[in-house]
A and B are shown apart, each in its own frame.
Chain A
Amino acid sequence: MNAILFSAVWGVVMMFCGAFVNKAATVRNAAVTGLVLLIILNIAELYGFRLMRVDTHGMLAFNSFTLVFNTVAFVSTLVYFFLSAKDMERVGVNLAEYFALIFFVLSGVAISSSFNSLMMLFLGIEIISIPLYILTGSDKKNLNSNEASLKYFLMGSFSTGIMLMGIALIYGATGTFSLERMTTVLSPGLNPLLIAGFLLLVISMSFKVSAAPFHFWTPDVYDGAPTVFTSFMATIVKVAAFAAFLRLFTGTNVEVPAQIKIIIALITAATLFIGNITAVFQQSVKRMLAYSSIAQAGFMCFALFGFNDFAKEGLLLYSAAYSLATIGVFAVLIKMKDFTFEGFNGLASYQPLLAATNTIFLLSLAGIPLTAGFMAKFYMLASAIKSGAYMWLIILAVLCAAVSVYYYFRVIQAMYFRESKEPQALSVSPAFKWGLIVIAAAVVFLGLFPQWLFAKLYF
Protein backbone atom coordinates (compact mmCIF):
# COMPACT_ATOMS: atom_id res chain seq x y z
CA MET A 1 0.00 0.00 0.00
CA ASN A 2 2.86 2.39 0.79
CA ALA A 3 4.13 2.15 -2.75
CA ILE A 4 0.76 2.89 -4.36
CA LEU A 5 0.09 5.91 -2.13
CA PHE A 6 3.56 7.39 -2.26
CA SER A 7 4.20 7.00 -5.98
CA ALA A 8 0.85 8.62 -6.81
CA VAL A 9 1.57 11.51 -4.44
CA TRP A 10 5.10 11.95 -5.74
CA GLY A 11 3.80 11.99 -9.30
CA VAL A 12 1.74 15.05 -8.36
CA VAL A 13 4.79 16.56 -6.62
CA MET A 14 6.77 16.15 -9.83
CA MET A 15 4.02 17.90 -11.79
CA PHE A 16 4.27 20.86 -9.43
CA CYS A 17 8.04 20.72 -9.88
CA GLY A 18 7.42 21.17 -13.60
CA ALA A 19 5.44 24.33 -12.89
CA PHE A 20 7.74 25.96 -10.37
CA VAL A 21 11.27 24.65 -10.93
CA ASN A 22 13.27 25.64 -13.98
CA LYS A 23 16.56 23.86 -13.44
CA ALA A 24 16.70 20.38 -14.95
CA ALA A 25 19.18 19.16 -12.34
CA THR A 26 16.77 20.03 -9.51
CA VAL A 27 13.93 18.17 -11.20
CA ARG A 28 16.18 15.15 -11.68
CA ASN A 29 17.25 15.19 -8.07
CA ALA A 30 13.64 15.47 -6.91
CA ALA A 31 12.74 12.43 -8.98
CA VAL A 32 15.65 10.37 -7.67
CA THR A 33 14.85 11.42 -4.08
CA GLY A 34 11.24 10.39 -4.54
CA LEU A 35 12.23 7.06 -5.96
CA VAL A 36 14.68 6.34 -3.13
CA LEU A 37 11.96 7.19 -0.58
CA LEU A 38 9.58 4.95 -2.50
CA ILE A 39 12.00 2.02 -2.30
CA ILE A 40 12.59 2.61 1.42
CA LEU A 41 8.85 2.77 2.15
CA ASN A 42 8.25 -0.34 0.12
CA ILE A 43 10.94 -2.30 1.94
CA ALA A 44 9.64 -0.94 5.25
CA GLU A 45 6.29 -2.51 4.45
CA LEU A 46 8.04 -5.90 4.38
CA TYR A 47 8.83 -5.25 8.06
CA GLY A 48 5.30 -4.20 8.87
CA PHE A 49 5.49 -0.42 8.59
CA ARG A 50 2.47 1.18 6.92
CA LEU A 51 1.87 4.83 6.15
CA MET A 52 -1.82 4.48 6.87
CA ARG A 53 -4.37 1.74 7.24
CA VAL A 54 -6.51 1.49 4.14
CA ASP A 55 -9.44 -0.86 4.00
CA THR A 56 -9.51 -2.10 0.43
CA HIS A 57 -12.36 -4.58 1.01
CA GLY A 58 -10.10 -7.40 -0.09
CA MET A 59 -9.48 -5.86 -3.49
CA LEU A 60 -5.75 -5.61 -2.95
CA ALA A 61 -3.61 -8.13 -1.10
CA PHE A 62 0.01 -7.61 -0.24
CA ASN A 63 2.26 -10.57 0.38
CA SER A 64 6.00 -10.92 0.43
CA PHE A 65 6.13 -11.81 -3.27
CA THR A 66 4.32 -8.61 -4.21
CA LEU A 67 6.56 -6.47 -2.07
CA VAL A 68 9.79 -8.08 -3.25
CA PHE A 69 8.61 -7.81 -6.83
CA ASN A 70 7.80 -4.11 -6.35
CA THR A 71 11.23 -3.59 -4.88
CA VAL A 72 12.83 -5.20 -7.93
CA ALA A 73 10.77 -3.00 -10.25
CA PHE A 74 11.55 0.18 -8.31
CA VAL A 75 15.27 -0.55 -8.03
CA SER A 76 15.34 -1.17 -11.78
CA THR A 77 13.67 2.20 -12.25
CA LEU A 78 16.26 3.82 -10.00
CA VAL A 79 19.04 2.31 -12.10
CA TYR A 80 17.22 3.55 -15.18
CA PHE A 81 17.01 7.07 -13.73
CA PHE A 82 20.70 7.08 -12.92
CA LEU A 83 21.72 6.01 -16.40
CA SER A 84 19.18 7.67 -18.64
CA ALA A 85 17.63 10.65 -16.82
CA LYS A 86 20.03 13.03 -18.57
CA ASP A 87 18.99 11.72 -21.96
CA MET A 88 15.32 12.44 -21.24
CA GLU A 89 16.11 16.14 -21.57
CA ARG A 90 16.89 15.60 -25.21
CA VAL A 91 13.38 14.30 -25.93
CA GLY A 92 11.57 17.50 -25.08
CA VAL A 93 11.25 20.34 -22.63
CA ASN A 94 8.73 18.75 -20.25
CA LEU A 95 11.26 16.86 -18.14
CA ALA A 96 9.29 17.03 -14.88
CA GLU A 97 6.15 15.75 -16.58
CA TYR A 98 8.01 12.73 -17.93
CA PHE A 99 9.08 11.87 -14.40
CA ALA A 100 5.54 12.45 -13.14
CA LEU A 101 4.18 10.04 -15.72
CA ILE A 102 6.81 7.47 -14.77
CA PHE A 103 5.75 7.74 -11.12
CA PHE A 104 2.13 7.20 -12.14
CA VAL A 105 3.22 4.12 -14.07
CA LEU A 106 4.99 2.85 -10.95
CA SER A 107 1.77 3.31 -9.01
CA GLY A 108 0.06 1.15 -11.63
CA VAL A 109 2.85 -1.40 -11.33
CA ALA A 110 2.24 -1.67 -7.60
CA ILE A 111 -1.52 -2.08 -8.13
CA SER A 112 -1.26 -4.67 -10.85
CA SER A 113 1.21 -6.79 -8.89
CA SER A 114 -1.07 -6.86 -5.83
CA PHE A 115 -4.62 -7.01 -7.20
CA ASN A 116 -7.05 -9.42 -5.71
CA SER A 117 -10.07 -8.30 -7.66
CA LEU A 118 -10.42 -8.12 -11.43
CA MET A 119 -11.48 -4.50 -11.04
CA MET A 120 -8.05 -3.67 -9.68
CA LEU A 121 -6.39 -5.66 -12.47
CA PHE A 122 -8.20 -3.45 -14.97
CA LEU A 123 -7.33 -0.24 -13.13
CA GLY A 124 -3.70 -1.25 -12.63
CA ILE A 125 -3.18 -2.14 -16.27
CA GLU A 126 -4.85 1.09 -17.37
CA ILE A 127 -2.82 3.23 -14.98
CA ILE A 128 0.27 1.65 -16.50
CA SER A 129 -0.90 2.06 -20.09
CA ILE A 130 -2.29 5.58 -20.29
CA PRO A 131 0.89 7.41 -19.19
CA LEU A 132 2.85 5.19 -21.57
CA TYR A 133 0.77 6.34 -24.55
CA ILE A 134 1.84 9.88 -23.69
CA LEU A 135 5.49 8.95 -23.14
CA THR A 136 5.59 7.12 -26.47
CA GLY A 137 4.35 10.22 -28.27
CA SER A 138 6.44 12.67 -26.27
CA ASP A 139 8.64 13.54 -29.26
CA LYS A 140 5.84 15.62 -30.73
CA LYS A 141 7.44 16.77 -33.97
CA ASN A 142 8.80 13.35 -34.89
CA LEU A 143 6.51 11.40 -37.19
CA ASN A 144 7.87 8.05 -36.03
CA SER A 145 7.03 8.90 -32.44
CA ASN A 146 3.53 10.04 -33.49
CA GLU A 147 2.93 6.88 -35.40
CA ALA A 148 4.19 4.69 -32.56
CA SER A 149 2.01 6.41 -29.99
CA LEU A 150 -1.15 6.23 -32.14
CA LYS A 151 -0.51 2.57 -32.87
CA TYR A 152 0.19 1.81 -29.22
CA PHE A 153 -2.90 3.72 -28.16
CA LEU A 154 -5.24 1.99 -30.62
CA MET A 155 -3.85 -1.47 -29.89
CA GLY A 156 -3.77 -0.84 -26.16
CA SER A 157 -7.36 0.36 -25.87
CA PHE A 158 -8.55 -2.40 -28.21
CA SER A 159 -6.99 -5.00 -25.92
CA THR A 160 -8.49 -3.19 -22.93
CA GLY A 161 -11.91 -3.65 -24.52
CA ILE A 162 -11.24 -7.36 -24.92
CA MET A 163 -10.04 -7.61 -21.32
CA LEU A 164 -13.20 -5.90 -20.08
CA MET A 165 -15.36 -8.30 -22.05
CA GLY A 166 -13.49 -11.18 -20.45
CA ILE A 167 -13.98 -9.73 -16.99
CA ALA A 168 -17.70 -9.14 -17.68
CA LEU A 169 -18.18 -12.75 -18.78
CA ILE A 170 -16.34 -14.06 -15.73
CA TYR A 171 -18.54 -11.85 -13.60
CA GLY A 172 -21.59 -13.27 -15.32
CA ALA A 173 -20.46 -16.80 -14.54
CA THR A 174 -19.35 -16.29 -10.96
CA GLY A 175 -21.11 -13.18 -9.66
CA THR A 176 -17.93 -11.76 -8.19
CA PHE A 177 -14.76 -9.98 -9.25
CA SER A 178 -12.73 -11.22 -6.33
CA LEU A 179 -10.16 -13.89 -7.16
CA GLU A 180 -10.48 -15.45 -3.72
CA ARG A 181 -14.25 -15.71 -3.70
CA MET A 182 -14.23 -17.14 -7.18
CA THR A 183 -12.72 -20.32 -5.73
CA THR A 184 -15.75 -21.07 -3.60
CA VAL A 185 -18.19 -20.34 -6.39
CA LEU A 186 -16.34 -22.38 -8.96
CA SER A 187 -16.00 -25.68 -7.22
CA PRO A 188 -18.96 -27.49 -8.89
CA GLY A 189 -17.57 -27.18 -12.39
CA LEU A 190 -16.65 -24.81 -15.18
CA ASN A 191 -19.18 -23.29 -17.47
CA PRO A 192 -18.67 -22.01 -21.04
CA LEU A 193 -19.19 -18.39 -20.00
CA LEU A 194 -16.26 -18.68 -17.63
CA ILE A 195 -13.98 -20.39 -20.15
CA ALA A 196 -14.80 -17.76 -22.79
CA GLY A 197 -14.15 -14.98 -20.29
CA PHE A 198 -10.88 -16.46 -19.18
CA LEU A 199 -9.79 -16.92 -22.78
CA LEU A 200 -10.48 -13.27 -23.59
CA LEU A 201 -8.55 -12.27 -20.48
CA VAL A 202 -5.58 -14.40 -21.54
CA ILE A 203 -5.68 -12.88 -25.04
CA SER A 204 -5.70 -9.33 -23.75
CA MET A 205 -2.90 -10.02 -21.27
CA SER A 206 -0.90 -11.52 -24.14
CA PHE A 207 -1.41 -8.22 -25.94
CA LYS A 208 -0.04 -6.36 -22.95
CA VAL A 209 3.03 -8.56 -22.48
CA SER A 210 3.47 -8.72 -26.29
CA ALA A 211 3.31 -12.48 -26.60
CA ALA A 212 2.84 -13.86 -30.11
CA PRO A 213 0.51 -13.86 -32.03
CA PHE A 214 -0.48 -10.59 -30.39
CA HIS A 215 3.00 -9.07 -30.60
CA PHE A 216 2.76 -7.24 -33.92
CA TRP A 217 2.54 -3.79 -32.35
CA THR A 218 5.70 -4.26 -30.28
CA PRO A 219 8.53 -3.77 -32.81
CA ASP A 220 6.92 -0.68 -34.35
CA VAL A 221 6.11 0.93 -31.02
CA TYR A 222 9.49 0.17 -29.48
CA ASP A 223 11.22 1.39 -32.61
CA GLY A 224 9.25 4.60 -32.94
CA ALA A 225 9.18 5.68 -29.30
CA PRO A 226 12.03 7.85 -27.99
CA THR A 227 14.80 5.39 -27.03
CA VAL A 228 14.86 6.43 -23.36
CA PHE A 229 11.21 5.53 -22.98
CA THR A 230 11.55 2.34 -24.99
CA SER A 231 14.02 1.26 -22.36
CA PHE A 232 11.43 1.81 -19.64
CA MET A 233 8.58 0.19 -21.57
CA ALA A 234 10.56 -2.87 -22.54
CA THR A 235 11.72 -3.61 -19.00
CA ILE A 236 9.76 -2.49 -15.97
CA VAL A 237 6.36 -2.27 -17.63
CA LYS A 238 6.71 -5.62 -19.31
CA VAL A 239 7.70 -7.50 -16.16
CA ALA A 240 4.87 -5.78 -14.26
CA ALA A 241 2.39 -7.06 -16.82
CA PHE A 242 3.85 -10.51 -16.29
CA ALA A 243 3.48 -10.22 -12.53
CA ALA A 244 -0.20 -9.38 -13.11
CA PHE A 245 -0.53 -12.33 -15.49
CA LEU A 246 1.03 -14.70 -12.93
CA ARG A 247 -1.20 -13.39 -10.18
CA LEU A 248 -4.25 -13.97 -12.32
CA PHE A 249 -3.35 -17.66 -12.36
CA THR A 250 -2.08 -18.11 -8.83
CA GLY A 251 -4.55 -15.80 -7.07
CA THR A 252 -7.37 -18.31 -7.42
CA ASN A 253 -7.02 -21.79 -6.04
CA VAL A 254 -8.99 -23.13 -8.96
CA GLU A 255 -7.20 -25.61 -11.15
CA VAL A 256 -6.70 -23.90 -14.51
CA PRO A 257 -8.64 -25.86 -17.15
CA ALA A 258 -6.54 -27.99 -19.49
CA GLN A 259 -7.78 -26.14 -22.58
CA ILE A 260 -6.42 -22.84 -21.28
CA LYS A 261 -3.11 -24.50 -20.44
CA ILE A 262 -2.74 -25.80 -23.98
CA ILE A 263 -3.48 -22.35 -25.37
CA ILE A 264 -0.83 -20.83 -23.15
CA ALA A 265 1.64 -23.49 -24.23
CA LEU A 266 0.94 -22.60 -27.87
CA ILE A 267 1.29 -18.89 -27.14
CA THR A 268 4.62 -19.56 -25.43
CA ALA A 269 5.90 -21.66 -28.31
CA ALA A 270 4.83 -19.07 -30.90
CA THR A 271 6.38 -16.24 -28.89
CA LEU A 272 9.71 -18.03 -28.51
CA PHE A 273 9.83 -19.03 -32.14
CA ILE A 274 8.70 -15.78 -33.77
CA GLY A 275 10.67 -13.55 -31.41
CA ASN A 276 13.96 -15.36 -31.86
CA ILE A 277 13.74 -16.10 -35.57
CA THR A 278 12.67 -12.56 -36.52
CA ALA A 279 15.35 -10.98 -34.35
CA VAL A 280 18.00 -12.75 -36.41
CA PHE A 281 17.06 -10.77 -39.54
CA GLN A 282 17.06 -7.26 -38.03
CA GLN A 283 19.50 -4.61 -39.20
CA SER A 284 18.91 -2.10 -36.41
CA VAL A 285 19.98 -2.90 -32.86
CA LYS A 286 16.97 -1.06 -31.46
CA ARG A 287 14.58 -3.20 -33.50
CA MET A 288 16.59 -6.30 -32.63
CA LEU A 289 16.12 -5.47 -28.94
CA ALA A 290 12.37 -5.11 -29.53
CA TYR A 291 12.23 -8.63 -30.97
CA SER A 292 14.54 -9.87 -28.24
CA SER A 293 12.06 -8.51 -25.69
CA ILE A 294 9.37 -10.61 -27.39
CA ALA A 295 11.66 -13.64 -27.19
CA GLN A 296 12.36 -13.00 -23.50
CA ALA A 297 8.60 -12.67 -22.94
CA GLY A 298 8.38 -16.22 -24.26
CA PHE A 299 10.68 -17.38 -21.50
CA MET A 300 8.74 -15.44 -18.89
CA CYS A 301 5.58 -17.24 -20.05
CA PHE A 302 7.05 -20.40 -18.50
CA ALA A 303 6.20 -18.99 -15.10
CA LEU A 304 2.53 -19.46 -16.01
CA PHE A 305 2.79 -23.26 -16.21
CA GLY A 306 4.25 -24.35 -12.96
CA PHE A 307 2.23 -23.19 -10.01
CA ASN A 308 5.11 -23.91 -7.69
CA ASP A 309 7.58 -21.74 -5.86
CA PHE A 310 10.03 -22.14 -8.71
CA ALA A 311 7.71 -20.14 -10.94
CA LYS A 312 7.50 -17.22 -8.52
CA GLU A 313 11.22 -17.24 -7.76
CA GLY A 314 11.94 -17.62 -11.44
CA LEU A 315 9.78 -14.65 -12.39
CA LEU A 316 11.43 -12.49 -9.71
CA LEU A 317 14.91 -13.44 -10.88
CA TYR A 318 13.94 -13.05 -14.52
CA SER A 319 12.49 -9.60 -13.83
CA ALA A 320 15.70 -8.49 -12.16
CA ALA A 321 18.06 -10.09 -14.67
CA TYR A 322 16.16 -9.01 -17.76
CA SER A 323 15.41 -5.47 -16.56
CA LEU A 324 18.96 -4.71 -15.43
CA ALA A 325 20.61 -6.12 -18.55
CA THR A 326 18.16 -4.49 -20.97
CA ILE A 327 18.37 -1.11 -19.23
CA GLY A 328 22.16 -1.36 -19.52
CA VAL A 329 22.08 -2.23 -23.22
CA PHE A 330 19.61 0.57 -23.93
CA ALA A 331 21.67 3.06 -21.91
CA VAL A 332 24.64 2.34 -24.16
CA LEU A 333 22.42 2.38 -27.25
CA ILE A 334 21.03 5.83 -26.38
CA LYS A 335 24.55 7.22 -26.46
CA MET A 336 25.15 5.90 -29.97
CA LYS A 337 24.36 8.06 -32.98
CA ASP A 338 23.83 5.12 -35.30
CA PHE A 339 21.44 2.35 -34.22
CA THR A 340 22.54 -0.21 -36.83
CA PHE A 341 24.90 -3.07 -36.07
CA GLU A 342 27.60 -1.18 -38.02
CA GLY A 343 27.23 1.66 -35.54
CA PHE A 344 28.77 -0.59 -32.89
CA ASN A 345 31.84 -1.35 -35.03
CA GLY A 346 35.06 -0.94 -33.11
CA LEU A 347 33.41 0.36 -29.96
CA ALA A 348 35.91 -1.63 -27.91
CA SER A 349 38.84 0.31 -29.33
CA TYR A 350 37.62 3.79 -28.36
CA GLN A 351 35.24 3.03 -25.45
CA PRO A 352 36.59 -0.19 -23.89
CA LEU A 353 34.51 0.13 -20.73
CA LEU A 354 31.21 0.59 -22.55
CA ALA A 355 32.01 -2.37 -24.76
CA ALA A 356 32.98 -4.60 -21.81
CA THR A 357 29.87 -3.86 -19.74
CA ASN A 358 27.66 -4.11 -22.81
CA THR A 359 29.16 -7.55 -23.44
CA ILE A 360 28.20 -8.68 -19.94
CA PHE A 361 24.61 -7.46 -20.46
CA LEU A 362 24.32 -9.21 -23.80
CA LEU A 363 25.78 -12.43 -22.36
CA SER A 364 23.19 -12.23 -19.60
CA LEU A 365 20.37 -11.74 -22.10
CA ALA A 366 21.63 -14.71 -24.10
CA GLY A 367 21.73 -16.81 -20.93
CA ILE A 368 25.44 -17.63 -20.68
CA PRO A 369 26.43 -19.19 -17.30
CA LEU A 370 27.83 -16.97 -14.52
CA THR A 371 25.35 -14.24 -15.42
CA ALA A 372 21.91 -13.62 -13.97
CA GLY A 373 20.24 -14.44 -17.29
CA PHE A 374 21.44 -18.03 -17.09
CA MET A 375 20.02 -18.63 -13.63
CA ALA A 376 16.78 -16.91 -14.61
CA LYS A 377 16.32 -19.15 -17.63
CA PHE A 378 17.29 -22.14 -15.49
CA TYR A 379 14.60 -21.37 -12.87
CA MET A 380 11.97 -20.85 -15.56
CA LEU A 381 12.70 -24.17 -17.26
CA ALA A 382 13.00 -25.93 -13.90
CA SER A 383 9.54 -24.75 -12.90
CA ALA A 384 8.11 -26.07 -16.17
CA ILE A 385 9.92 -29.41 -15.75
CA LYS A 386 8.66 -29.70 -12.21
CA SER A 387 5.08 -29.28 -13.36
CA GLY A 388 5.75 -32.37 -15.46
CA ALA A 389 4.16 -31.57 -18.79
CA TYR A 390 5.11 -29.98 -22.10
CA MET A 391 8.55 -31.52 -22.61
CA TRP A 392 8.47 -30.41 -26.28
CA LEU A 393 8.08 -26.82 -25.17
CA ILE A 394 11.19 -27.00 -22.99
CA ILE A 395 13.23 -28.46 -25.85
CA LEU A 396 11.96 -25.69 -28.13
CA ALA A 397 12.93 -23.09 -25.53
CA VAL A 398 16.48 -24.41 -25.27
CA LEU A 399 16.84 -24.42 -29.05
CA CYS A 400 15.50 -20.85 -29.23
CA ALA A 401 17.97 -19.76 -26.55
CA ALA A 402 20.71 -21.15 -28.81
CA VAL A 403 19.36 -19.10 -31.73
CA SER A 404 19.30 -16.00 -29.56
CA VAL A 405 23.06 -16.31 -29.02
CA TYR A 406 23.51 -15.47 -32.71
CA TYR A 407 21.95 -12.04 -32.67
CA TYR A 408 23.33 -11.02 -29.29
CA PHE A 409 26.83 -12.06 -30.29
CA ARG A 410 26.53 -10.11 -33.52
CA VAL A 411 26.71 -6.94 -31.41
CA ILE A 412 29.67 -8.27 -29.43
CA GLN A 413 31.42 -9.24 -32.66
CA ALA A 414 30.83 -5.78 -34.10
CA MET A 415 32.22 -4.15 -30.96
CA TYR A 416 35.38 -6.22 -30.73
CA PHE A 417 36.28 -7.64 -34.12
CA ARG A 418 35.27 -4.96 -36.59
CA GLU A 419 37.11 -1.78 -37.41
CA SER A 420 35.21 1.48 -37.37
CA LYS A 421 35.85 4.03 -40.07
CA GLU A 422 35.63 7.04 -37.82
CA PRO A 423 35.16 6.73 -34.03
CA GLN A 424 31.95 8.38 -32.83
CA ALA A 425 32.31 11.11 -30.29
CA LEU A 426 30.15 9.86 -27.40
CA SER A 427 29.33 12.12 -24.48
CA VAL A 428 29.95 9.75 -21.60
CA SER A 429 30.31 11.03 -18.07
CA PRO A 430 32.29 9.22 -15.34
CA ALA A 431 29.06 8.75 -13.34
CA PHE A 432 27.51 6.96 -16.29
CA LYS A 433 30.52 4.64 -16.48
CA TRP A 434 30.29 3.84 -12.78
CA GLY A 435 26.60 3.16 -13.18
CA LEU A 436 27.32 0.66 -15.92
CA ILE A 437 30.00 -1.03 -13.81
CA VAL A 438 27.59 -1.36 -10.87
CA ILE A 439 24.86 -2.91 -13.03
CA ALA A 440 27.31 -5.30 -14.64
CA ALA A 441 28.50 -6.32 -11.16
CA ALA A 442 24.88 -6.81 -10.06
CA VAL A 443 24.19 -8.99 -13.10
CA VAL A 444 27.18 -11.21 -12.32
CA PHE A 445 26.33 -11.25 -8.60
CA LEU A 446 22.77 -12.40 -9.26
CA GLY A 447 24.19 -15.07 -11.53
CA LEU A 448 26.36 -16.39 -8.72
CA PHE A 449 24.00 -15.98 -5.77
CA PRO A 450 20.43 -15.92 -7.07
CA GLN A 451 19.02 -17.08 -3.73
CA TRP A 452 20.05 -13.71 -2.28
CA LEU A 453 17.00 -12.23 -4.01
CA PHE A 454 14.63 -14.79 -2.49
CA ALA A 455 15.86 -14.42 1.09
CA LYS A 456 13.07 -11.97 1.84
CA LEU A 457 10.41 -14.10 0.19
CA TYR A 458 10.03 -16.59 3.02
CA PHE A 459 10.61 -15.62 6.59
Chain B
Amino acid sequence: MPVNYYIFVAIALFCIGITGVLTRRNAIIIFMCIEIMLNAVNLLLVAFSKMHYASHLITPGAGGANGTDGQLFVFFIMVVAAAEVSVGLAIIVMLYRNTHSTDVNFLNRLKN
Protein backbone atom coordinates (compact mmCIF):
# COMPACT_ATOMS: atom_id res chain seq x y z
CA MET B 1 0.00 0.00 0.00
CA PRO B 2 1.51 3.38 -0.94
CA VAL B 3 2.45 5.68 1.91
CA ASN B 4 0.16 8.41 0.54
CA TYR B 5 -2.94 6.73 1.95
CA TYR B 6 -1.47 6.71 5.43
CA ILE B 7 -0.50 10.35 5.11
CA PHE B 8 -4.03 11.28 4.08
CA VAL B 9 -5.62 9.32 6.92
CA ALA B 10 -3.21 10.83 9.43
CA ILE B 11 -3.76 14.39 8.20
CA ALA B 12 -7.53 13.82 8.22
CA LEU B 13 -7.42 12.55 11.81
CA PHE B 14 -5.24 15.48 12.79
CA CYS B 15 -7.69 17.95 11.25
CA ILE B 16 -10.62 16.26 13.01
CA GLY B 17 -8.71 16.66 16.25
CA ILE B 18 -8.00 20.35 15.63
CA THR B 19 -11.61 21.05 14.65
CA GLY B 20 -12.81 19.30 17.78
CA VAL B 21 -10.49 21.31 20.03
CA LEU B 22 -11.62 24.56 18.47
CA THR B 23 -15.37 23.92 18.42
CA ARG B 24 -16.27 21.67 21.37
CA ARG B 25 -17.09 23.12 24.79
CA ASN B 26 -16.72 20.10 27.02
CA ALA B 27 -13.26 19.83 28.59
CA ILE B 28 -13.20 16.03 28.34
CA ILE B 29 -14.14 16.01 24.65
CA ILE B 30 -11.51 18.67 23.92
CA PHE B 31 -9.07 16.44 25.70
CA MET B 32 -10.09 13.43 23.60
CA CYS B 33 -9.60 15.50 20.46
CA ILE B 34 -6.07 16.32 21.57
CA GLU B 35 -5.47 12.59 21.99
CA ILE B 36 -6.75 12.05 18.44
CA MET B 37 -4.17 14.59 17.24
CA LEU B 38 -1.39 12.75 19.04
CA ASN B 39 -2.50 9.41 17.62
CA ALA B 40 -2.63 10.85 14.11
CA VAL B 41 1.02 11.77 14.59
CA ASN B 42 1.77 8.23 15.80
CA LEU B 43 0.21 6.77 12.68
CA LEU B 44 2.12 9.16 10.47
CA LEU B 45 5.42 8.38 12.19
CA VAL B 46 4.97 4.65 11.78
CA ALA B 47 4.05 5.10 8.11
CA PHE B 48 7.11 7.28 7.47
CA SER B 49 9.26 4.86 9.39
CA LYS B 50 8.13 2.05 7.11
CA MET B 51 8.68 4.25 4.06
CA HIS B 52 12.21 5.16 5.06
CA TYR B 53 12.93 1.53 5.81
CA ALA B 54 11.78 0.54 2.32
CA SER B 55 13.96 3.20 0.70
CA HIS B 56 16.82 2.11 2.91
CA LEU B 57 16.53 -1.44 1.52
CA ILE B 58 16.73 -0.14 -2.03
CA THR B 59 19.66 2.24 -1.50
CA PRO B 60 21.39 1.32 1.76
CA GLY B 61 23.17 4.16 3.53
CA ALA B 62 21.60 6.91 1.44
CA GLY B 63 20.33 8.98 4.31
CA GLY B 64 22.13 7.04 6.98
CA ALA B 65 18.78 6.16 8.59
CA ASN B 66 17.05 2.82 8.49
CA GLY B 67 13.75 4.11 9.77
CA THR B 68 13.59 2.51 13.20
CA ASP B 69 13.83 5.76 15.14
CA GLY B 70 10.39 6.79 13.91
CA GLN B 71 8.82 3.82 15.66
CA LEU B 72 10.92 4.52 18.72
CA PHE B 73 9.49 8.02 18.85
CA VAL B 74 5.96 6.58 18.90
CA PHE B 75 6.65 4.89 22.21
CA PHE B 76 7.90 8.15 23.68
CA ILE B 77 4.75 9.91 22.51
CA MET B 78 2.57 7.22 24.10
CA VAL B 79 4.40 7.51 27.42
CA VAL B 80 4.24 11.29 27.47
CA ALA B 81 0.58 11.23 26.44
CA ALA B 82 -0.15 8.88 29.35
CA ALA B 83 1.59 11.27 31.75
CA GLU B 84 -0.38 14.13 30.28
CA VAL B 85 -3.66 12.22 30.67
CA SER B 86 -3.02 11.62 34.34
CA VAL B 87 -2.31 15.29 35.00
CA GLY B 88 -5.10 16.50 32.73
CA LEU B 89 -7.81 14.31 34.21
CA ALA B 90 -6.71 15.35 37.70
CA ILE B 91 -7.12 18.99 36.69
CA ILE B 92 -10.55 18.31 35.20
CA VAL B 93 -11.64 16.43 38.34
CA MET B 94 -10.41 19.32 40.48
CA LEU B 95 -12.45 21.71 38.36
CA TYR B 96 -15.51 19.47 38.54
CA ARG B 97 -15.33 19.36 42.32
CA ASN B 98 -15.45 23.15 42.51
CA THR B 99 -17.97 23.92 39.79
CA HIS B 100 -19.88 20.66 39.16
CA SER B 101 -19.41 21.03 35.43
CA THR B 102 -16.74 20.35 32.83
CA ASP B 103 -17.93 23.07 30.48
CA VAL B 104 -15.11 25.32 29.33
CA ASN B 105 -17.49 28.26 28.90
CA PHE B 106 -16.87 28.69 32.59
CA LEU B 107 -13.32 29.71 31.67
CA ASN B 108 -13.98 33.42 31.37
CA ARG B 109 -13.61 34.61 34.91
CA LEU B 110 -10.08 35.89 34.35
CA LYS B 111 -11.01 38.01 31.35
CA ASN B 112 -11.85 41.50 32.51
A149 to B37 alpha-carbon distance, docked (Å): 21
A175: which B residues are within 8 A, CB to CB?
A: 48, 52, 55, 63, 65, 67
A225 to B73 alpha-carbon distance, docked (Å): 32
Taking the closest CB of chain B, its distance from the CB of A117, in whole angstroms, is 8
Q: Are B88 and A133 neighbours in the complex by a CB distance under 8 Å?
A: yes
Taking the closest CB of chain B, its distance from the CB of A455, in whole angstroms, is 38
B52: which A residues are within 8 A, CB to CB?
A: 175
B12: which A residues are within 8 A, CB to CB?
A: none
Interface residues of A in 110-147 (CB under 8 A from B): 119, 122-123, 126, 130, 133-134, 137, 140-141, 143-144, 146-147
Supposing A130-B87, A165-B14 touch, asked if A176 and B63 sit within 8 A by C-beta, the answer is yes
Supposing A143-B109, A150-B95 touch, asked if A157 and B44 sit within 8 A by C-beta, the answer is no
Q: Are B91 and A153 neighbours in the complex by a CB distance under 8 Å?
A: yes
Q: Are A119 and B76 neighbours in the complex by a CB distance under 8 Å?
A: yes
Supposing A123-B76, A158-B21, A165-B41 touch, asked if A171 and B48 sit within 8 A by C-beta, the answer is yes
Interface residues of A in 156-203 (CB under 8 A from B): 157-158, 160-162, 164-165, 167-169, 171-172, 174-177, 181, 184-185
A221 to B54 alpha-carbon distance, docked (Å): 46
Q: Which residue of B lies closest to A119 (CB)?
A: B73
Q: Are B77 and A164 neighbours in the complex by a CB distance under 8 Å?
A: yes
Q: Which residue of A lies closest to B3 (CB)?
A: A172
Number of residues on chain A facing chain B (CB within 8 A): 43
Q: Are A144 and B109 neighbours in the complex by a CB distance under 8 Å?
A: yes
Q: Is A148 an interface residue (CB 8 A)?
A: yes
Number of residues on chain B facing chain A (CB within 8 A): 48
B72: which A residues are within 8 A, CB to CB?
A: 119
Q: Are B64 and A181 neighbours in the complex by a CB distance under 8 Å?
A: yes
Q: Are B109 and A123 neighbours in the complex by a CB distance under 8 Å?
A: no
Q: Are B84 and A150 neighbours in the complex by a CB distance under 8 Å?
A: no
Q: Are A223 and B110 neighbours in the complex by a CB distance under 8 Å?
A: yes
A123 to B51 alpha-carbon distance, docked (Å): 24
Q: Is A154 an interface residue (CB 8 A)?
A: yes
B110: which A residues are within 8 A, CB to CB?
A: 144, 147-148, 219-220, 223-224
Q: Are B63 and A147 neighbours in the complex by a CB distance under 8 Å?
A: no
A220: which B residues are within 8 A, CB to CB?
A: 107, 110-111
Contact with A along B74-103 (1 / 0, CB 8 A): 001100100110011011101100110000
A119 to B71 alpha-carbon distance, docked (Å): 12
Q: Are A176 and B65 neighbours in the complex by a CB distance under 8 Å?
A: yes
A102 to B43 alpha-carbon distance, docked (Å): 33
Between A and B, 29 residue pairs with Cβ closer than 8 Å are A122-B76, A126-B84, A130-B83, A141-B98, A143-B99, A146-B94, A147-B110, A148-B110, A150-B92, A153-B88, A153-B91, A158-B21, A158-B37, A160-B38, A161-B17, A161-B37, A168-B48, A171-B70, A171-B73, A172-B7, A174-B63, A175-B52, A175-B65, A176-B63, A176-B65, A184-B64, A185-B63, A219-B110, A220-B110
